[in-house]
Amino acid sequence: MAKQQEYSGSDIEVYRDAKHVRKRPAMYIGDVGERGLHHCIWEVVDNSIDEHVAGFCDKITIELGSDGSVTVSDNGRGIPVDMHAEEGKSALELVLTVIGAGGKFNKKSYAISGGLHGVGVSAVCALSSTMVATVKRDSKVYQQEFAGGYASSAMKEIGTTNRTGTSITFVPDNTIFDATTFDTQRVLGRARELAYLNSGLVIHIVDRRDNTKFAYKYDNGIVQFVEHLNEGKHPLHDVVYFEGEQDGIRVEVAFQFNSGFDEKTLSFVNNIPTIEGGTHLVGFRNSLSRVLLAAAKETRLPKGVTLTGEDTREGVVSVISAKVPEPQFEGQTKTKLGNKEVQTVVHAITSEGVKSFFEEHPKELKLVIGKVKKAAEAREASRRARESVRESAKGGMSELLSKLVHCRSKDVESNEVLLIEGDSAGGSAKGGRDSRFQAVLPMKGKVLNVEKATVSKMLAHDELKILVSALGTGLGEAFDLSKLKYGKVIIMCDADVDGLHIQTLLLTFFFRQMTELLLSGHVYIAQPPLYRVTYRNKTHYLKDDTSLQTFMKENEVNRDQLGVQRFKGLGEMNPDQLWDTTMSPANRTVRQVIVGDAVEACRVFDVLMGKAVEPRRQFIVENAAKLDPRFLDV
């Protein structure tokens, strides 16, 4: 056995402030991919939001620069610039360079805040190649520059002003992040969310890359948020809103039941989205369920069916916003709240608010209780359907064994399953695939639109049953990503209207029943060619009409001089063609499905795939100019 190397005090390294952030960035912003990159914006914006909550700011501007920079400006009080007696540096430099420096510990400057650890903006500074801070306060304008988390210039006075506020401009360090291009839609989604949560606040977004501008302001706050989330559904009553405060904890709740089957609840603490929920969400759900279960005691149910808390939340859209002086989050990225006292406060305020509304609106209560009863009956039917699926899956599903062609490798990360439109294309794919890592699952016809279907109907749908068994993850609340059998789930459909429809139906299913599969980046869409072009004894595969026009222009030829075959579907390709154009990792083009704005994605699925016709018609009218007429099914 080899002798271990010596281990002494000289081997101990000390990483402080920027050096530690740059060494372990994921500890501070979650990761160095797209999520972490955009998280940097919100760490800066959170400080401006805290100024609004404290009553000193009513306008925030986020500017995406053409040079890859981001500028966040507000009209708050401005970061202090006076010298810190103990540290011998300006307060501005301390806030932006020292981990653990901030004005939110003693609660004198901010009773409520999202930034609690003195970490956020200093971590962004450390992960930026350059940062420039401009502060307006005390009738003067101050500025200081930073690089990699350290001051690169002294703070200087550069002018006078009659305004106040802070402006932070930063350029993400491309040696830290995987990519440094900001996604406008992702920024818009979070900005809109913050505007909903802070009634009266104006948030401007300016994208200098294409000179587009946006602005969000909602005077009715989370009431309008719930209305936005419920667009495309059939609400059973007006949005219920109530607020309250106990022990310094302020709570706002808005909810509305619709005729659908999904619960959609968004929770926030100090304006920060708690995507994993926490005690405030538990308090709301338990209280809502308790009030409705008590009101439904006299409801007669079929034999063997009982009401549960799950039944009382079917079809409810809710937003819970809590302002907590000392929130205990799990980690710097703050995705789950742990304060037990918040659960008690939210439970009490929700109980009073829900009781008060339904006592004053007995007709609406009757509608909701009727829905709860139907949910219980549907849940029992779903349970029986799930048992049927499990029984079918034991020892291998006979239909699955005949349709799914397995791959040989046991390496889940490198394996992929191709969901192919039609048995004919499935046959070509089976013959052309690389059997080491590619599995093939032909999809017969159009799958069920789960947006309009009950869970029991969905589970009875043969194609979806086979798909769920093939992926191995389960679905809904039972979904378990760790059981996924393939690193890539690739949707392969024809390049026509029907193919796009099948893509959309599958994406609807994944978004509603396997959300984490999409969020974790496992779903891809293949891009098969529309044309096979022969020119000068060479074959070229071109994706679409635009590619064909470009090819003709580059070669200075017209269509009559080419041998052009337009594929009507994947089934027209032989195995070699399908491999060369659509399946070979070396040649193919696949698009990864990324959920940039989950809230907006949810709304769009509601509008386009839901039961309500008028919102869908309105969406088409508003977006008609963006539609490609080739893909209109008229």
Q: Which residues are catalytic?
A: 421, 494, 496, 498
3-state helix, strand, coil in the chain (%, to 5): 40, 20, 40
Structure tokens at 196: 């909903």
Q: Are 195 and 321 in contact (CB under 8 A)?
A: no
| Sequential DSSP letters for 93-158 | HHHHHSTT--S-SSSSS-SS-S--SS-HHHHHHHTEEEEEEEEEETTEEEEEEEETTEESS--EEE
Looking at this protein, which amino acid is placed at residue 110?
A: Y
Structure tokens at 590: 């696949």
Taking the C-alpha atoms of residue 337 and residue 407, their distance in angstroms, rounded to an integer, is: 42
- What burial class does residue 27 get, using C-beta atoms within 10 Å of its C-beta: 0-12 exposed, 13-18 middle, 19+ buried? middle
Q: What is the CA radius of gyration of the chain?
A: 28
Taking the C-alpha atoms of residue 58 and residue 202, their distance in angstroms, rounded to an integer, is: 6
Q: What is the largest CA-CA distance in the chain?
A: 81
Taking the C-alpha atoms of residue 439 and residue 435, their distance in angstroms, rounded to an integer, is: 7
Centroid of chain to Cα 150: 33
On the CB side of 133, how many CA atoms lie within 13 Å of its CA? 32
- What burial class does residue 426 get, using C-beta atoms within 10 Å of its C-beta: 0-12 exposed, 13-18 middle, 19+ buried? buried
| Beta-strand pair 438-443/488-492 | unpaired
Handedness of CA 21, 26, 28, 29 (dihedral sign): positive
DSSP letter at 583 equals: I
Structure tokens at 453: 């279907």
| Sequential DSSP letters for 312-338 | HTTTEEEEEEEE-SS--BSTTTT--B-
Q: Helices 184-197 and 598-609, interaxial angle, to 10°?
A: 90
| Sequential DSSP letters for 491-532 | EE--SSHHHHHHHHHHHHHHHHH-HHHHHTT-EEEE---SEE
Q: Are 260 and 312 in contact (CB under 8 A)?
A: no
Closest to 79 in 3D by CA, of 111, 61, 57, 58: 57
Taking the C-alpha atoms of residue 39 and residue 44, their distance in angstroms, rounded to an integer, is: 9
Place of tokens 């205990």: 328
Q: What is each CA distance from 357 to 149, 244, 255, 256, 363, in whole angstroms?
A: 52, 15, 11, 12, 11
